[in-house]
Amino acid sequence: MSPQEASGELLRMLRQQLESWQRAGLTHLPKLRLQSAGQSSSESQLEMSPGGGQDAVQPSDSGRSVFRKTEQRSSTFQEDRAAALARLAAQVARCRRCPELVRNRTQTVFGSGNPYAQLVFIGEAPGADEDRLGQPFVGAAGQLLTDMIEKGMGLRRSDVYIMNIVRCRPPGNRTPLPEEAQNCRPFLEKQLAIIQPKFICCLGACAAQNLLGTTEPISRLRGKVHSYQGIPVVCTYHPAYLLRTPSAKRQTWEDLQLLMAIMGLPVPKTSVPKPGKRIGE
């Protein structure tokens, strides 16, 4: 490899790593070794996005007290949690615990959103679009989830954090095997430990059963408040299921209302969506 090719390859790897950290919520990189005496701490950060970390934690509505605490946190503290997520994302990107998933993945899909989210959504696994883009819940199911969050709950997608039970795409979009979910569990637990959400919403049977350690069907898990390490958990149907079964939107809306009630959010006076309509329409 020529020196030019080597430097191009190095730049490509660096760009991939930076993108992976950014997806994990990191907005600044400390320049600790480059800092000269007398330089302020704000000058010693390399900004990665125009909005910086502040934008990600603004409340969607000044009346939403549940997000006010997030807004008041110091920017230094925000960067600590984002940096911890970025370190974990880098570990996940190197993970090879599930041979079949490693053979088939384009990249790992760590999770995305506000590192200080009060609410975390957990889905099943990356699909084809997610595997291609490295982001959870993109494509049609992702758009429906965004509608559930924004039109249904009145939050912004950037207020919450979204992740999956497994971080690599199962071939053919099959359900993750129990051993794959088990392999990925330490990452899930660590990610939740860093974010410290106040509420969790499981999307679909795979997420609900794996998080809660049960084999109960989703039809029996939904409609109630469960607990994961003391954190209230509401389970509902996966957006991909709702796309195939629009009649289940009524129950999902009821689950979201339950979630909003325990979060102390006002429940919007929107009608229950009719089959074929989106939540919030």
Size of the site for ligand SF4 (CB under 6 A): 15
- Span 44-83, contacts to ligand SF4 by CB under 6 A: none
Out of 66, 95, 231, 267, the only residue in the binding site for ligand SF4 (CB under 6 A) is: 95
Least Å distance between CB 257 and ligand SF4? 33
Least Å distance between CB 258 and ligand SF4? 30
- Enumerate the H helices of the chain as residue ranges: 3-23, 52-56, 68-72, 75-94, 99-104, 128-133, 139-147, 178-195, 205-212, 218-221, 239-244, 249-263
Q: Tell me whether residue 48 or residue 95 sits nearer to ligand SF4 (CB atom).
A: 95
Q: Tell me whether residue 175 or residue 257 sits nearer to ligand SF4 (CB atom).
A: 175
Which DSSP symbol is given to 116? T
Tokens describing residue 66: 């549940």
Q: Tell me whether residue 57 or residue 168 sits nearer to ligand SF4 (CB atom).
A: 168
Q: How far apart are the first and last CA of the chain?
A: 56
Out of 45, 78, 107, 183, the only residue in the binding site for ligand SF4 (CB under 6 A) is: 183
Q: Report the C-alpha gap between 273 and 65 in whole angstroms.
A: 27
Q: How many CB atoms lie within 10 A of CB 269?
A: 5
Least Å distance between CB 123 and ligand SF4? 13
- At residue 126, the 3 state secondary structure works out as coil
Site string for ligand SF4, 150-179 (x = CB under 6 A): ----------------xxx-----------
Out of 13, 14, 102, 140, the only residue in the binding site for ligand SF4 (CB under 6 A) is: 102
Of the candidates 146, 166, 161, 159, the one whose C-alpha atom is nearest the C-alpha of residue 193 is: 161
Q: What is the 3-state secondary structure (H, E, C) of 3-72?
A: HHHHHHHHHHHHHHHHHHHHHCCCCEEECHHHCCCCCCCHHHEEECCCCHHHHHCCCCCCCCHHHHHHHH
The set of residues, in sequence order, having a beta carbon less than 8 Å from that of 281 and lying 6+ positions away, is: 151, 273
Least Å distance between CB 113 and ligand SF4? 18
Query: Contact between 98 and ligand SF4 (CB under 6 A)?
Result: yes
Least Å distance between CB 80 and ligand SF4? 23
Site string for ligand SF4, 184-223 (x = CB under 6 A): x--x------------------------------------
Cα distances (angstroms) measured from residue 179 to each of 44, 109, 182: 43, 18, 5
List residues bridging with 29 in a β-sheet: 46
Q: Which one of 73-81, 101-109, 201-209, 234-242 is the stretch in contact with ligand SF4 (CB under 6 A)?
A: 101-109
Q: Tell me whether residue 53 or residue 204 sits nearer to ligand SF4 (CB atom).
A: 204
Task: Using CB under 6 A, list all residues that contact ligand SF4.
Answer: 92, 95-98, 101-102, 108, 166-168, 180, 183-184, 187
